[in-house]
Amino acid sequence: MAEAKRIGVLTSGGDCAGLNAAIRAVAYRAIEGYGFRVFGIHHGTHGLMETPVAAEELTLDQFDGNILRLGGTILGSMNRGDPFAYPMPDGSVKDRSEEIIDGYHELGLDALIGIGGDGSLDILRRLALQGGLNLVGIPKTIDNDVDKTENAIGYVTAVDVASEALDRLQPTAASHDRVMVLEVMGRSAGHIALSAGIAGGADAILMPEIPWTTEGLTRKILDVREHGRNFALVIVAEAAHLPDGEAVGRRRADGGFTFGGVGQRVSELIEQSTGAESRITVLGHVQRGGAPSPRDRLFASAFGVCAVDLVAEGQFDRLVVWSDRECRHEPLADGIAKSHRVDPNGTLVHTATGLGIYIGDPAASGAA
C-alpha cells in the first residue's frame, strides 16, 4: 500500500478573519477526501526555519464546530523578515531561504498550501522555484489586492467592520453637528473604503486610485449642509494621497513605508475649509480581528477544498481564486504579477458617483 501523501499548510503575512476556516477545509478535504496527512506549520515560513521544524500533524478532532467561527489563525503568522534578506540580531541580513527549503524536506512534504497575500505568495513562489517545492496558493488579505480573484479571505469581514463603524458614527455625528472622518486600512488599494463607503452611506470616499481636491471635498460638505443636513461622513483609505500628492505615514527602519495618519490631516483640512467641527476615527487592526463573516467562511472553505484537489491532481504553482461565482485556479505568477486596485471606470466607482458621493476626479486617475 502506497504511503499517504504529506502536505503542509501555513498562514503567512498579516492575519485576517477566515484563516481558520481555510485551515479546517484543507484538513477535512485532505484527510477525509484523500487520506493525506496534513502538517500545520507555525508562524508561516519562520516555522520551517526552526530546528526542529515548528509544525504539528493536524487531525480532525482538532476541528470542532467552533473553529471556523474563530478569528486569527491557530497556526500563527508572521509578516516581517524577508527570508531572502533576513534581519539578524547583529544588524546584518542573511539569506535564509535554504533553511526554509530544508524544513520542507525535513517534514517529508509532497506539497505545501500557502495562505497569504500578494507579498507572502511572491516569497513562497520564489522559494518553490528555488527548491523545487510543490506549491498551491490561497489568497487572503483584507486589502483584496491579489489579482485574478474577486475576493480574498478576510476582505468581506473588513468591509463589514468598516460599514458598521459608519453606522455607529452617524448618530454621534448628527447629535453634535460634526463631520466624522473614518480612516480604514487597505494598503495601496481603496477597496475597503469604496465598498464600506457605499454600504455605510458616506458622503465622500477618498482612495489612492483617484485624485481629489480640497475644493471638491469642501463643496460636497457645504452642499450637504445647504440641503439641511447637519452632519457628514467621510471615509478615507490609509493610502489616499493628500491633494498635493503627499502620502501620509512613516518610513520604517527596514526602508519600507507604513501608511497611517491621513484621516487626521483630512479632518483638519475639513475644519479649515468649511468651518465645521470634525472628528477622526482610525479603525486600524479592528478590521482584521473578530469572527469572520459567513461569506468569508464560505470563500475560505471553498478555497481550502479546491487547493487540496489541486494537490491531488498534481497541479502546482497555481492560485485558487473566486471568479464568476465559482472557485477556479490561475497560474500563481499571474495572481502576484500586479496589485489589484480599484478601477476608476468600474461598477462600484460608477455606483458611488451615481449616488452623489464625492470620490474625487476619476478622469484624472490616468485610467483609460
The CATH number covering residue 131 comes to: 3.40.50.450
The range of the structural domain enclosing residue 267 comes to 159-287+343-365
- Residues 178, 223, single domain; the answer is yes
CA distance linking residue 306 with residue 321, whole number of Å: 9
Q: Is residue 351 part of a domain?
A: yes
- The three three-digit cell numbers of residue 52, written as one number: 526542529
Q: Is residue 59 part of a domain?
A: yes
Q: Is residue 38 part of a domain?
A: yes
β 135-139/318-323 pair status: parallel
pLDDT 10s digit of each residue in the chain, 368 long?
A: 578 899 999 999 889 999 999 999 999 999 999 999 999 999 999 999 999 999 999 999 998 778 989 999 999 988 777 899 888 888 888 999 999 999 999 999 999 999 999 999 999 999 999 999 999 999 999 999 999 999 999 999 999 999 999 999 999 999 999 999 999 999 899 999 999 999 999 999 999 999 999 999 999 999 999 999 999 999 999 999 999 998 888 887 767 788 889 999 999 999 999 999 999 999 989 999 899 999 999 999 999 999 999 999 999 999 999 999 999 999 999 999 999 999 999 999 999 999 999 999 887 776 54
**Which residues form the catalytic set?**
143
CA distance linking residue 43 with residue 319, whole number of Å: 21
Which three-class secondary structure state does DSSP give residue 87?
strand
For helices 155-175 and 191-199, what crossing angle results, to 10°?
Answer: 50
- Residues 105, 253, single domain; the answer is no
CA distance linking residue 40 with residue 47, whole number of Å: 10
- The three three-digit cell numbers of residue 192, written as one number: 475597503
- Residues 331, 192, single domain; the answer is no
CA distance linking residue 154 with residue 186, whole number of Å: 11
How far the first Cα of the chain sits from its last, in Å, is 59
The answer to whether residues 220 and 204 touch, using CB atoms and an 8 Å cutoff, is: yes
The pLDDT assigned to 363 comes to 78
Q: How many domains does the chain have?
A: 2
- Residues 361, 231, single domain; the answer is yes
Which three-class secondary structure state does DSSP give residue 44?
coil
**Domain of residue 253, CATH code:** 3.40.50.460
